Structure 1
Amino acid sequence: MIEELNKKLEILELDKIKEILPDYIHKTSKDNLTLTEQLNYLTAEEINYKDSRAAEGIIKAANFPFKKTLEDYDFSFQPSLSENQIRELSNLSFIKNHENIIFIGNPGVGKTHLAVSLGIEAAKHRNSVYFITCHNLMTKLNKAQKENRLDKQLQHLAQYKLLIIDEIGYLPVDHQGSNLLFQLIAKRYMTKSTIVTTNMPFSRWGEVFSDNTLASAVLDRLLHYSHIIRITGNSYRIKDKIVESDSRTNEYNE
């Protein structure tokens, strides 16, 4: 009987139920559970398993540079940042509402860490996510245009529920690249969510994109329905050196 049941579970692709069923049958033989309670437990385990597998696949395909969560972020090191605001964003209502998030701050303050953390949280809830630096995005779009497949590439990037564009402002973008970025942002406008990290204040985006008009057009669509997170503080990359310096100072004073 159990072999026949296992075959049916394989056909239905209920892998988790098949895995836990022998132990579960042994356990429930001692419990007085109704059939409904048993089915509820087994199907819940299967759903959790499938959600976990799906999330793993999305995270793998998302092109994240690393895997870090909000639990790995030291909010005490960046007192200018509201932990409550970030925690609230992690409930992912911004994706449901097609809102954007823009992290602004100097290099090393943790903008990319926060963007990736929110991306991973989105993936865990089976939202399609893709991470890319601004420089690599420009390379990808320029290549697609030269190969006469720009529309297809734009459509592909526009379909992600969450697109993370990292490091806007670190390298200049020429007029053609600015135009391509505008087309992508316009396609996603009010239909999908985008997270951007930048070291440049909005007033200087005209310098980044070599075109004030295009910079304004991109900003107009990004800032409409957006959460702007400004981070001021020291770089995480020198955090340990600061701690070490403070320790040495204390030793000297003692």
Structure 2
Amino acid sequence: MKQIENMKQYAGILRLGYLSKNLQPMLHQASIDTPGYADFLENMLIKELEQRQLNDYRRRTKLARLPRAHELDEYDYKASSSIGIRQMTQLRELLWVDQLYNLVLMGPSGTGKTYLAGGLVNDAIKKGYRAYFTTMADLIGVLNRKEIISSAMSTYKRYTKAHLIAIDDIMMFPVQKSEAVALFNLINHLHEQCSIIITTNKSPSQWAETLDDEVLATAILDRLLYRCEVIRFEGNGYRMDNRKTFLEKE
């Protein structure tokens, strides 16, 4: 027992978390299966690696702040004619992220833009990319507070090192001039270094009205649309067509 406790301690010092917690049951199983030394060591290392990969995935998923619905395996093609199976397959391969293309999802509220954006970020995380999901409101909050709150600066730094960022509901509401400039500076920094997904219910011509600055709106759009696929969503909102109630009808 002393030897096992020492081994657990050594594993902890070496930051082998899975081995530290599971050494005793692994030794017990080895006494039953009697593997060779090399096989036993390989199995321990594989288990440790798998646990680290799982922990890393969980950490990146938490940081990504995905919307509640984001599993594209459950995408309802009947509810939306904007995306076909072939297009979805191509999007989920994420080759466009490696090629630094952007994606603009444009259309009325409730047509599936957020679901698709969140789903692609989720797929990217599974494949090991640094990917994040944020709303325009939350992003503006980070930009406003990054110089005075350390957590906001940490979030901002993560964004600047991302492979993929989804910005949901961009230009949904008017922003102040300083906020618009900060948004431009971020997008300009990310330009041709990171892929960006934009969801919006405003046409490009309406962006200038939201920002109250045509020159700034043009500069932002110029960088987003340079290498970009635009997908237009149409039809009634999914939530309105599938509205749920709780009162029983007479």
> 1:144, CA displacement in angstroms?
4.9
Secondary structure of the 1:176 match is helix
Instruction: Establish whether residue 169 from structure 1 lines up as the match of residue 171 from structure 2.
Output: yes
Secondary structure of the 1:196 match is strand
Percent identity (aligned): 30
Q: Deviations over 1:178-228 (max 9, x none)?
A: 222111100001112222111122233222322222222111111222232
> 1:106, CA displacement in angstroms?
0.9
CA contact (8 A) 1:52 1:124 kept: no
CA contact (8 A) 2:105 2:230 kept: yes
- Alignment-mate amino acid for residue 111 of structure 1: K
> 1:75, CA displacement in angstroms?
2.3
> 1:28, CA displacement in angstroms?
4.2
What is the aligned partner in structure 1 of residue 217 from structure 2? 215
Whole-Å separation in 2 of the counterparts to 1:6 and 1:154: 38
Q: Deviations over 1:24-52 (max 9, x none)?
A: 44444454744444333332222221111
Whole-Å separation in 1 of the counterparts to 2:30 and 2:78: 48
Instruction: Establish whether residue 62 from structure 1 lines up as the match of residue 53 from structure 2.
Output: no
Q: TM-score with structure 1 length normalisation?
A: 0.78
Unaligned runs of 5+ in 2: 245-250
Question: Could you tell me which of 111, 114, 136 is aligned with 1:112?
Answer: 114
> 1:136, CA displacement in angstroms?
3.1
Q: Deviations over 1:145-203 (max 9, x none)?
A: 799xx999865532233222110132123443322211110000111222211112223
Secondary structure of the 1:76 match is coil
CA contact (8 A) 1:101 1:228 kept: yes
What is the aligned partner in structure 2 of residue 2 from structure 1? 4
Whole-Å separation in 2 of the counterparts to 1:151 and 1:239: 40
> 1:236, CA displacement in angstroms?
1.5
Whole-Å separation in 2 of the counterparts to 1:14 and 1:156: 26
Question: Structure 1's 80 and 174: CA in aligned 2 closer, same or farther, altered over 3 A?
Answer: same
What is the aligned partner in structure 2 of residue 13 from structure 1? 15
Number of residue pairs aligned between Structure 1 and Structure 2:
240
Unaligned runs of 5+ in 1: 243-254
Whole-Å separation in 2 of the counterparts to 1:138 and 1:72: 31
What is the aligned partner in structure 2 of residue 91 from structure 1? 93
**Aligned-residue CA RMSD in angstroms?**
3.1
After TM superposition, list the pairs within 5 Å mapping 1:103-142 onto structure 2: 103-142=105-144
Secondary structure of the 2:235 match is coil
CA contact (8 A) 2:8 2:21 kept: no
Whole-Å separation in 1 of the counterparts to 2:44 and 2:87: 37
- Alignment-mate amino acid for residue 3 of structure 1: E
Q: Deviations over 1:107-129 (max 9, x none)?
A: 00111112112222333344333
Secondary structure of the 1:228 match is strand
> 1:78, CA displacement in angstroms?
0.8
Secondary structure of the 2:88 match is helix
Whole-Å separation in 1 of the counterparts to 2:103 and 2:40: 43
What is the aligned partner in structure 2 of residue 195 from structure 1? 197
Question: Could you tell me which of 229, 234, 237 is aligned with 1:235?
Answer: 237
- Alignment-mate amino acid for residue 164 of structure 1: A
- Alignment-mate amino acid for residue 221 of structure 2: L
